[in-house]
Amino acid sequence: MHPRRAHSSGGRSRTKRSVTGFTLIELLAAVAVISLLVVIMLPALAKAQTKMRSNRCLSNLQDVGTAMSLYLQDCNDKVPYAALRYATGNEERHLAWDDLMGPYLGIDLTPEERNRDGATKGGSFKLLSCPEDSLPLSFANNMPRDEYRRSYAMPEHNMGVMTLAGQEPTAADWPPCPVNRTGLGLRLDGRPNSLSARWNRDDEPGSMQAPKWQPAFYTPMIMDAPNTLFMTEHFDGANHVGAWEGAAISDISTHIVDKAKQAPQERFNYLMIDGHVESLVPQDSYIRKHSSKSAPTRPAGIWTVWQYD
Protein backbone atom coordinates (compact mmCIF):
# COMPACT_ATOMS: atom_id res chain seq x y z
CA MET A 1 0.00 0.00 0.00
CA HIS A 2 1.55 3.33 -1.09
CA PRO A 3 1.85 6.08 1.44
CA ARG A 4 -0.51 8.95 0.90
CA ARG A 5 1.02 12.00 -0.68
CA ALA A 6 0.12 15.44 0.55
CA HIS A 7 -0.30 17.80 -2.33
CA SER A 8 -1.93 21.10 -3.00
CA SER A 9 -4.11 22.07 -5.87
CA GLY A 10 -2.09 22.15 -9.12
CA GLY A 11 0.81 20.31 -7.48
CA ARG A 12 2.50 23.50 -6.17
CA SER A 13 2.78 24.87 -2.70
CA ARG A 14 1.83 28.50 -2.17
CA THR A 15 3.11 31.04 0.32
CA LYS A 16 1.67 34.42 1.14
CA ARG A 17 3.83 37.57 0.79
CA SER A 18 3.18 40.79 2.54
CA VAL A 19 4.00 43.88 0.40
CA THR A 20 4.19 47.21 2.22
CA GLY A 21 5.05 50.78 1.00
CA PHE A 22 5.49 54.34 2.30
CA THR A 23 2.44 56.01 3.63
CA LEU A 24 1.68 59.49 2.31
CA ILE A 25 2.84 61.05 5.57
CA GLU A 26 6.16 59.17 5.45
CA LEU A 27 6.71 60.19 1.82
CA LEU A 28 6.05 63.86 2.59
CA ALA A 29 8.41 63.68 5.57
CA ALA A 30 11.19 62.21 3.39
CA VAL A 31 10.69 64.92 0.77
CA ALA A 32 10.84 67.60 3.48
CA VAL A 33 14.09 66.21 4.89
CA ILE A 34 15.71 66.04 1.42
CA SER A 35 14.57 69.60 0.65
CA LEU A 36 16.04 70.85 3.93
CA LEU A 37 19.36 69.14 3.18
CA VAL A 38 19.44 70.74 -0.28
CA VAL A 39 18.77 74.19 1.22
CA ILE A 40 21.57 73.66 3.74
CA MET A 41 24.07 72.38 1.18
CA LEU A 42 23.46 74.85 -1.67
CA PRO A 43 25.42 77.76 -0.11
CA ALA A 44 28.34 75.43 0.59
CA LEU A 45 28.27 74.11 -2.97
CA ALA A 46 28.10 77.64 -4.39
CA LYS A 47 31.01 78.70 -2.19
CA ALA A 48 33.01 75.67 -3.33
CA GLN A 49 32.33 76.50 -6.99
CA THR A 50 33.39 80.12 -6.44
CA LYS A 51 36.56 78.95 -4.72
CA MET A 52 37.29 76.57 -7.60
CA ARG A 53 36.89 79.37 -10.17
CA SER A 54 39.07 81.69 -8.09
CA ASN A 55 41.74 78.99 -7.87
CA ARG A 56 41.58 78.65 -11.65
CA CYS A 57 42.22 82.39 -11.98
CA LEU A 58 45.14 82.12 -9.60
CA SER A 59 46.52 79.17 -11.57
CA ASN A 60 46.19 81.16 -14.81
CA LEU A 61 48.17 84.03 -13.33
CA GLN A 62 50.85 81.63 -12.12
CA ASP A 63 51.18 80.36 -15.70
CA VAL A 64 51.36 83.97 -16.94
CA GLY A 65 54.14 84.50 -14.39
CA THR A 66 56.06 81.55 -15.79
CA ALA A 67 55.64 82.94 -19.31
CA MET A 68 56.78 86.38 -18.09
CA SER A 69 59.98 84.90 -16.62
CA LEU A 70 60.84 83.19 -19.91
CA TYR A 71 60.04 86.38 -21.84
CA LEU A 72 62.31 88.44 -19.58
CA GLN A 73 65.17 85.99 -20.02
CA ASP A 74 64.93 86.19 -23.81
CA CYS A 75 64.43 89.97 -23.92
CA ASN A 76 67.35 91.06 -21.74
CA ASP A 77 65.12 91.76 -18.71
CA LYS A 78 62.94 94.24 -20.62
CA VAL A 79 59.44 94.31 -19.11
CA PRO A 80 56.74 93.94 -21.80
CA TYR A 81 54.72 97.04 -22.68
CA ALA A 82 51.07 97.10 -21.75
CA ALA A 83 50.37 98.15 -25.37
CA LEU A 84 52.00 99.63 -28.48
CA ARG A 85 50.52 101.26 -31.56
CA TYR A 86 52.56 102.27 -34.57
CA ALA A 87 52.33 102.92 -38.34
CA THR A 88 49.32 104.59 -39.90
CA GLY A 89 46.40 104.16 -42.26
CA ASN A 90 44.95 100.74 -42.94
CA GLU A 91 48.19 99.03 -41.90
CA GLU A 92 48.27 100.08 -38.27
CA ARG A 93 49.93 97.66 -35.93
CA HIS A 94 48.61 97.16 -32.45
CA LEU A 95 50.45 95.03 -29.92
CA ALA A 96 49.31 94.36 -26.37
CA TRP A 97 51.23 92.56 -23.63
CA ASP A 98 49.58 89.25 -24.55
CA ASP A 99 50.70 89.66 -28.18
CA LEU A 100 54.27 90.30 -27.06
CA MET A 101 54.25 87.35 -24.68
CA GLY A 102 52.14 85.14 -26.95
CA PRO A 103 54.77 82.51 -27.81
CA TYR A 104 55.47 82.06 -24.09
CA LEU A 105 51.75 81.79 -23.29
CA GLY A 106 51.27 78.97 -25.78
CA ILE A 107 49.33 81.26 -28.12
CA ASP A 108 50.41 80.57 -31.69
CA LEU A 109 49.46 83.70 -33.61
CA THR A 110 50.77 84.79 -36.99
CA PRO A 111 52.36 88.28 -37.19
CA GLU A 112 49.22 89.51 -38.95
CA GLU A 113 47.00 88.18 -36.17
CA ARG A 114 49.20 89.74 -33.49
CA ASN A 115 49.13 93.09 -35.26
CA ARG A 116 45.35 93.34 -35.11
CA ASP A 117 43.63 95.22 -32.30
CA GLY A 118 42.13 91.99 -31.04
CA ALA A 119 42.82 88.42 -32.16
CA THR A 120 40.07 86.06 -33.24
CA LYS A 121 41.97 82.93 -34.16
CA GLY A 122 45.38 81.35 -34.17
CA GLY A 123 45.67 79.89 -30.70
CA SER A 124 44.07 78.84 -27.43
CA PHE A 125 43.15 81.77 -25.23
CA LYS A 126 41.78 79.91 -22.18
CA LEU A 127 44.79 80.96 -20.15
CA LEU A 128 43.80 84.62 -20.57
CA SER A 129 40.20 84.15 -19.41
CA CYS A 130 39.23 83.92 -15.75
CA PRO A 131 36.14 81.77 -14.99
CA GLU A 132 35.01 84.46 -12.54
CA ASP A 133 34.77 86.99 -15.39
CA SER A 134 31.15 86.93 -16.58
CA LEU A 135 30.71 90.44 -17.97
CA PRO A 136 29.33 90.52 -21.53
CA LEU A 137 31.85 91.59 -24.15
CA SER A 138 31.39 94.97 -25.78
CA PHE A 139 32.71 95.82 -29.22
CA ALA A 140 33.94 98.97 -30.95
CA ASN A 141 32.81 99.56 -34.52
CA ASN A 142 36.07 98.19 -35.91
CA MET A 143 36.25 95.21 -33.53
CA PRO A 144 35.47 91.73 -34.88
CA ARG A 145 32.45 90.12 -33.25
CA ASP A 146 34.14 86.77 -32.63
CA GLU A 147 36.68 88.30 -30.26
CA TYR A 148 38.05 86.44 -27.23
CA ARG A 149 37.87 87.59 -23.63
CA ARG A 150 40.97 88.73 -21.73
CA SER A 151 40.57 88.93 -17.95
CA TYR A 152 43.96 90.35 -16.94
CA ALA A 153 45.79 93.67 -17.25
CA MET A 154 48.98 95.45 -16.23
CA PRO A 155 48.96 98.34 -13.70
CA GLU A 156 48.91 101.48 -15.83
CA HIS A 157 51.74 104.02 -15.93
CA ASN A 158 50.74 107.67 -16.17
CA MET A 159 53.60 108.25 -18.64
CA GLY A 160 54.48 111.35 -16.68
CA VAL A 161 51.75 113.31 -18.48
CA MET A 162 48.37 111.72 -17.68
CA THR A 163 46.07 112.19 -14.73
CA LEU A 164 45.60 108.66 -13.46
CA ALA A 165 43.11 107.54 -10.82
CA GLY A 166 42.35 111.22 -10.19
CA GLN A 167 45.99 112.13 -9.55
CA GLU A 168 48.17 114.37 -11.68
CA PRO A 169 51.70 113.20 -12.59
CA THR A 170 54.80 114.45 -10.82
CA ALA A 171 58.37 114.99 -11.99
CA ALA A 172 59.34 111.66 -10.38
CA ASP A 173 56.99 109.74 -12.67
CA TRP A 174 59.16 110.04 -15.81
CA PRO A 175 61.30 108.58 -17.27
CA PRO A 176 60.79 104.93 -16.26
CA CYS A 177 62.98 104.47 -13.18
CA PRO A 178 62.91 103.10 -9.62
CA VAL A 179 61.26 106.21 -8.10
CA ASN A 180 58.16 106.24 -10.34
CA ARG A 181 55.02 106.56 -8.22
CA THR A 182 52.98 104.75 -10.85
CA GLY A 183 52.63 101.29 -12.41
CA LEU A 184 54.70 99.23 -14.87
CA GLY A 185 52.18 99.29 -17.74
CA LEU A 186 53.51 101.65 -20.42
CA ARG A 187 51.22 102.41 -23.39
CA LEU A 188 52.92 104.11 -26.36
CA ASP A 189 51.33 105.37 -29.57
CA GLY A 190 53.58 106.10 -32.56
CA ARG A 191 50.89 106.90 -35.14
CA PRO A 192 51.42 110.37 -36.63
CA ASN A 193 47.89 111.51 -35.90
CA SER A 194 47.90 110.18 -32.32
CA LEU A 195 51.56 110.54 -31.40
CA SER A 196 52.28 109.93 -27.75
CA ALA A 197 54.02 112.79 -25.94
CA ARG A 198 56.59 110.21 -24.76
CA TRP A 199 57.25 108.56 -28.12
CA ASN A 200 60.98 108.46 -28.81
CA ARG A 201 61.36 109.78 -32.36
CA ASP A 202 64.41 107.68 -32.99
CA ASP A 203 61.63 105.34 -34.05
CA GLU A 204 60.15 107.32 -36.93
CA PRO A 205 56.44 108.06 -36.34
CA GLY A 206 54.35 106.26 -38.93
CA SER A 207 57.00 103.66 -39.65
CA MET A 208 55.93 100.07 -40.23
CA GLN A 209 59.02 98.85 -38.40
CA ALA A 210 58.64 97.55 -34.87
CA PRO A 211 59.88 100.24 -32.46
CA LYS A 212 63.32 99.67 -30.94
CA TRP A 213 64.09 102.84 -29.03
CA GLN A 214 61.03 103.44 -26.87
CA PRO A 215 61.47 103.91 -23.10
CA ALA A 216 60.84 100.79 -21.06
CA PHE A 217 61.28 99.22 -17.66
CA TYR A 218 64.02 96.68 -17.05
CA THR A 219 63.92 94.38 -14.06
CA PRO A 220 67.15 95.78 -12.50
CA MET A 221 65.22 99.07 -12.14
CA ILE A 222 62.70 97.39 -9.84
CA MET A 223 64.08 97.55 -6.34
CA ASP A 224 61.26 95.67 -4.58
CA ALA A 225 60.15 93.00 -7.06
CA PRO A 226 58.10 90.91 -4.54
CA ASN A 227 55.96 94.01 -3.86
CA THR A 228 55.66 95.33 -7.43
CA LEU A 229 52.57 94.37 -9.40
CA PHE A 230 52.94 92.97 -12.91
CA MET A 231 49.42 91.72 -13.62
CA THR A 232 46.01 91.46 -11.99
CA GLU A 233 42.41 90.66 -12.86
CA HIS A 234 40.55 93.29 -14.88
CA PHE A 235 36.95 92.35 -15.67
CA ASP A 236 35.77 94.72 -18.37
CA GLY A 237 33.64 94.07 -21.43
CA ALA A 238 36.19 95.98 -23.54
CA ASN A 239 39.10 93.80 -22.39
CA HIS A 240 39.69 91.65 -25.50
CA VAL A 241 42.63 89.46 -26.42
CA GLY A 242 45.29 91.59 -28.15
CA ALA A 243 43.41 94.88 -27.73
CA TRP A 244 44.85 98.25 -26.69
CA GLU A 245 41.80 98.95 -24.54
CA GLY A 246 41.79 96.97 -21.33
CA ALA A 247 45.49 96.12 -21.52
CA ALA A 248 46.19 98.34 -18.50
CA ILE A 249 44.23 99.04 -15.32
CA SER A 250 44.56 102.26 -13.34
CA ASP A 251 43.76 101.13 -9.77
CA ILE A 252 41.62 98.87 -7.62
CA SER A 253 38.45 100.87 -8.25
CA THR A 254 38.39 99.60 -11.84
CA HIS A 255 38.81 95.92 -11.01
CA ILE A 256 35.17 95.31 -11.88
CA VAL A 257 33.10 97.42 -14.26
CA ASP A 258 29.48 97.42 -13.08
CA LYS A 259 28.00 97.07 -16.58
CA ALA A 260 26.52 93.70 -15.70
CA LYS A 261 25.89 94.62 -12.04
CA GLN A 262 28.37 91.95 -11.07
CA ALA A 263 29.06 92.02 -7.34
CA PRO A 264 32.60 93.00 -6.39
CA GLN A 265 34.83 90.13 -5.35
CA GLU A 266 36.11 89.88 -1.82
CA ARG A 267 39.65 89.03 -2.98
CA PHE A 268 41.69 89.40 -6.15
CA ASN A 269 44.77 87.65 -7.44
CA TYR A 270 47.95 89.65 -7.98
CA LEU A 271 51.00 88.55 -9.98
CA MET A 272 54.20 90.27 -8.87
CA ILE A 273 57.14 90.98 -11.16
CA ASP A 274 59.22 88.36 -9.31
CA GLY A 275 56.71 85.71 -10.51
CA HIS A 276 54.76 84.87 -7.34
CA VAL A 277 50.99 85.31 -6.98
CA GLU A 278 49.06 86.59 -3.96
CA SER A 279 45.34 86.58 -3.22
CA LEU A 280 44.47 89.82 -1.41
CA VAL A 281 41.57 91.92 -0.25
CA PRO A 282 41.79 94.89 -2.70
CA GLN A 283 42.49 97.45 0.02
CA ASP A 284 45.50 95.42 1.15
CA SER A 285 47.06 95.79 -2.29
CA TYR A 286 47.65 99.43 -1.39
CA ILE A 287 49.31 98.68 1.90
CA ARG A 288 52.76 97.12 2.13
CA LYS A 289 54.93 99.47 4.19
CA HIS A 290 52.36 101.28 6.34
CA SER A 291 49.76 100.15 8.86
CA SER A 292 46.95 102.44 7.69
CA LYS A 293 44.15 100.69 5.78
CA SER A 294 42.70 103.87 4.30
CA ALA A 295 43.07 104.32 0.54
CA PRO A 296 45.93 106.70 -0.32
CA THR A 297 45.48 109.84 -2.36
CA ARG A 298 47.34 108.34 -5.32
CA PRO A 299 48.32 104.85 -6.54
CA ALA A 300 50.49 103.18 -3.90
CA GLY A 301 51.51 99.84 -2.51
CA ILE A 302 52.06 97.14 -5.11
CA TRP A 303 50.53 99.41 -7.78
CA THR A 304 53.69 101.49 -8.11
CA VAL A 305 57.34 100.86 -8.92
CA TRP A 306 58.48 102.93 -5.93
CA GLN A 307 59.57 100.60 -3.14
CA TYR A 308 58.69 102.77 -0.15
CA ASP A 309 54.91 103.14 -0.43
Where residue 76 falls (left for φ over 0; alpha for ψ -120 to 50; beta otherwise) is left
- Amino acid at position 79, single letter: V
Cis ω for the linkage preceding 178 (within 30 of 0): no
pLDDT of residue 304: 93
Across-strand partners of 233?
Answer: 152
pLDDT of residue 143: 55
Domain ranges of the chain: 56-303
pLDDT of residue 231: 95
Between CA 244 and CA 95 the distance in angstroms is 7
CA dihedral sign, ordered 274, 105, 262, 265: negative
In this structure, the strands spanning 152-155 and 229-233 are: antiparallel
Regions of the chain with pLDDT less than 70: 1-22, 42-54, 89-90, 115-124, 139-147, 255-265, 288-298
Between CA 253 and CA 159 the distance in angstroms is 20
pLDDT of residue 72: 97
pLDDT in tens, 56-94: 888 999 999 999 999 999 999 999 999 999 887 667 888
Between CA 247 and CA 187 the distance in angstroms is 9
Between CA 285 and CA 6 the distance in angstroms is 93
C-beta separation of 151 from 133 below 8 A: yes
Strand, helix or coil for residue 226: helix
